[in-house]
């Protein structure tokens, strides 16, 4: 099997060239460029030795975890991961032999890598000793449930282009015509074939005029005047209304944890900031942006050098994966197709938003 450098190393190199301030966004970058003393590794704890330097088993496990995270769960053979670590060690030794780690530029990047890792370690340590409790998550759950409490409605509607047509339909309903049949025959909206059924929704999901009309109706009643929205003229039937039923706490409590962790981190940083003596030595005034030239379109979302580097690396990685698959008959798992959005949701969005 051909050896190849795993994209993680390539990405690290590209990012270093692209942007000094992002020279250390992961542990592997720091370990491969840093001149900081590393823990000694015993032979029994090593997976390989390169020119007298042991590569630890923990390094191999960490790399496997990082690669899996970056490649969305794709696994690489153990031999390939080990070869990656060997290649990194060879590059580190070559850099040290040429005394690249002693240059001011590299020393600054190593310092930033160390600071980045230490700041992450500080946050992890704080969250470990100040873990979010079930009581805190329950309090947050109760607050959100109270905030979102209210009614939800089930309704049908008939959408037409002209007010006069809507009034004729209301007259037919008054004489006893079935709403569902009229919707199937006359409604121009996507829900027409389903008798205008919109299912259950809350007030905020609909455009204002439509929502107000639904809320004002009683159950099993239809509007006696056409309702105008940006989509046309509506005749609306409110079928039912009920109190919203929130999901059970146990079903969503883990979704609340990240926000509560962020709150704790923010509180920690605020305390540290108040206790620290900080002096800003540069001007914080942003330079005025020049107006774009007439012949040039205004830039909406500029792409950073780092983003371009990552794109190039990802493209190269895909090409390398394809090449290796051809060489060794490697099989890759076909991504599952995304589940389409439910039809009812599409109708609500198209007709009322």
Domain extents for the chain?
A: 7-129, 151-243+345-352
Pairwise pLDDT comparison (89 vs 4), residue with the higher score? 89
Q: What is the pLDDT of residue 318?
A: 59
What span, in angstroms and rounded, lies between the C-alpha atoms of 59 and 73?
18
Smallest CA-to-CA distance from 16 within 341, 310, 253, 214 is with: 310
CA–CA gap between residue 82 and residue 89 (Å, rounded): 11
> Which has the closest alpha carbon to 81: 102, 105, 99, 64?
64
Q: What is the pLDDT of residues 231-247, one digit of tens each?
A: 999 999 999 999 888 88
Helices (H) and strands (E) in the chain, counts: 12, 7
Using CA atoms, how far apart are residues 192 and 180, in angstroms rounded to an integer?
9
Cα gap 76→38, rounded to integer Å: 26
Q: Pick the range with the lowest mean pLDDT from 163-177, 223-237, 256-270, 288-302.
A: 288-302
The secondary structure of residue 161, as a DSSP letter, is S
Asked whether the predicted pLDDT for residue 328 surpasses 90, the reply is no
Tokens of 284: 């914080």
Question: Residue 285 carries which DSSP code?
Answer: P
How many angstroms separate the CA atoms of 189 and 160, rounded? 8
Residue 219: phi and psi, rounded to 5, are -60, 140
Does the reported pTM lie above 0.75? no
Q: How many residues does the chain have?
A: 353
Q: Cβ-count burial of 4 within 10 angstroms (0-12 exposed, 13-18 middle, 19+ buried)?
A: middle
Q: How confident is the model at residue 290 (pLDDT cuts 50, 70, 90)?
A: confident
Strands 227-229 and 232-243 turn out to be antiparallel
Q: Tell the CATH topology of 151-243+345-352.
A: Chitinase A; domain 3 (3.10.50)
Cβ-Cβ contacts under 8 Å for 213 (sequence gap 6 or more): 223, 227, 234, 236
């Amino acid at each position: 099997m051909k050896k190849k450098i795993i994209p993680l190393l390539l990405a690290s190199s590209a990012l270093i060239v692209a942007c000094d301030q992002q020279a250390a966004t992961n542990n592997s970058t720091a370990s491969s460029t840093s001149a900081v003393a590393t823990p000694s590794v015993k032979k029994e704890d090593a997976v390989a030795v390169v020119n007298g330097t042991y590569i630890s088993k923990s390094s191999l496990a960490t790399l496997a975890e990082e690669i899996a995270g970056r490649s969305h769960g794709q696994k690489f053979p153990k031999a390939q991961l080990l070869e990656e670590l060997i290649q990194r060690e060879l590059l580190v030794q070559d850099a040290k032999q040429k005394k690249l780690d002693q240059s001011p530029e590299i020393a600054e990047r190593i310092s930033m890598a160390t600071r980045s890792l230490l700041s992450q370690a500080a946050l992890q340590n704080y969250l470990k000793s100040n873990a979010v409790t079930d009581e805190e998550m329950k309090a947050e759950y109760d607050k959100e449930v109270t905030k979102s409490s209210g009614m939800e409605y089930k309704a049908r509607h008939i959408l037409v282009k002209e007010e006069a047509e809507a009034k004729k339909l209301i007259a037919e309903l008054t004489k006893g015509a079935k709403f569902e049949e009229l919707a199937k025959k006359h409604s121009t909206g996507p829900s027409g074939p389903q008798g205008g059924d919109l299912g259950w929704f809350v007030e905020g999901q609909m455009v204002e005029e439509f929502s107000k009309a639904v809320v004002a109706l009683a159950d099993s009643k239809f509007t006696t005047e056409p309702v105008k929205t940006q989509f046309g003229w509506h005749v609306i039937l409110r079928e039912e209304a009920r109190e919203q039923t929130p999901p059970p706490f146990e079903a969503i409590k883990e979704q609340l944890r990240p926000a509560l962790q962020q709150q704790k981190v923010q509180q920690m940083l605020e305390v540290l900031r108040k206790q620290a003596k900080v002096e800003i030595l540069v001007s914080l005034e942003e330079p005025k942006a020049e107006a774009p030239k007439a012949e040039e379109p205004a830039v909406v979302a500029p792409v950073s050098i780092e983003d371009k580097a990552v794109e190039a690396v990802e493209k190269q990685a895909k090409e390398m994966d394809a090449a290796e698959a051809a060489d060794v008959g490697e099989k890759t798992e076909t991504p599952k197709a995304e589940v389409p959005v439910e039809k009812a949701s599409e109708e609500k969005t198209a007709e009322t938003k």
